[in-house]
């Protein structure tokens, strides 16, 4: 039985990764950790855990002893350095501590390629810190992610960004199903 921990996994990309993982490996158990402890997905393989993802002790005591994979979905642009650390750095540090303590096979991380310079550089710095751990790290760094019902201001830019994507991959939007499949395949099988 495979046990996967998803920090912030009840968000847009996390839900799609959960569905993809279950479709590939129906016997997998997913432990989704979030502040709310609630999830739109209702599968018997999913256990929702309410915890502060920036607090290692709180999260770790609610997890199973055996963890095969852990993924950090938490992150957002933030200009204030202290808030950036709270939103981006601390969840990644918690993931790394859990990965070390439970001897996971791999960690997963969502990188950043779009956004202000501080956000992109901050995500790269976190990725470097995780890579230095010696634990296998699989990263997907999508641009704008769309599909599966996303209807916000950014998703309205998809047609324009598809056009811009003809000239630069940095702007090419990516369907969430593609992102989910890429991450799950990388986690399960390596690069």
Q: What is the pLDDT of residues 48-72, one digit of tens each?
A: 999 999 999 999 999 999 999 999 9
Q: Residue with structure tokens 């010696």?
A: 134
Instruction: Kindly state whether residue 160 falls inside one of the protein's structural domains.
Output: no
Q: Please answer whether residues 17 and 9 qualify as being in contact, where contact means their C-beta atoms are separated by less than 8 angstroms.
A: yes
Which of the residues in the chain have pLDDT under 50?
none
Instruction: Kindly state whether residue 170 falls inside one of the protein's structural domains.
Output: no
Instruction: Kindly state whether residue 129 falls inside one of the protein's structural domains.
Output: yes
Taking the model in full, what pTM does it have? 0.88
pLDDT in tens, 100-129: 999 999 999 998 776 678 888 999 999 999
Q: Please answer whether residues 83 and 48 qualify as being in contact, where contact means their C-beta atoms are separated by less than 8 angstroms.
A: no
The whole-number pLDDT of residue 156 equals: 59
Instruction: Kindly state whether residue 168 falls inside one of the protein's structural domains.
Output: no
Angle formed by the axes of helices 176-189 and 12-24, nearest 10°: 50
The whole-number pLDDT of residue 164 equals: 53
Instruction: Kindly state whether residue 98 falls inside one of the protein's structural domains.
Output: yes
Q: How many domains does the chain have?
A: 1
The whole-number pLDDT of residue 86 equals: 93
The whole-number pLDDT of residue 11 equals: 85
The pairing of beta strand 137-140 with beta strand 106-110: parallel
What is the domain range of residue 23? 3-145+175-189
Instruction: Kindly state whether residue 77 falls inside one of the protein's structural domains.
Output: yes
Instruction: Kindly state whether residue 119 falls inside one of the protein's structural domains.
Output: yes
- CATH code (residue 85): 3.40.50.720
The whole-number pLDDT of residue 40 equals: 83
């Amino acid at each position: 039985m495979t046990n996967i921990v998803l920090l912030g996994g009840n968000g847009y990309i996390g839900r799609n990764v959960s569905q993809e993982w279950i479709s590939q490996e129906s016997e997998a158990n997913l432990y989704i950790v979030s502040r709310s402890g609630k999830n739109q997905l209702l599968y018997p393989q999913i256990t929702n855990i309410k915890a502060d993802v920036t607090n290692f002790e709180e999260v770790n005591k609610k997890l199973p002893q055996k963890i095969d994979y852990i993924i950090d979905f938490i992150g957002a642009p933030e200009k204030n350095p202290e808030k950036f650390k709270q939103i981006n750095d601390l969840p990644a540090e918690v993931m790394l501590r859990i990965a070390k303590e439970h001897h996971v096979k791999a960690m997963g991380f969502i990188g950043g390629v779009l956004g202000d310079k501080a956000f992109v550089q901050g995500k790269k710095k976190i990725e470097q810190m995780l890579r230095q751990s010696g634990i296998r790290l699989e990263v997907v760094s999508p641009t704008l992610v769309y599909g599966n019902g996303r209807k916000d201001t950014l998703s309205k830019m998809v047609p324009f960004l598809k056009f811009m994507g003809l000239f630069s991959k940095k702007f090419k939007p990516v369907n969430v199903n593609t992102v989910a499949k890429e991450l799950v395949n990388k986690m399960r099988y390596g690069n």
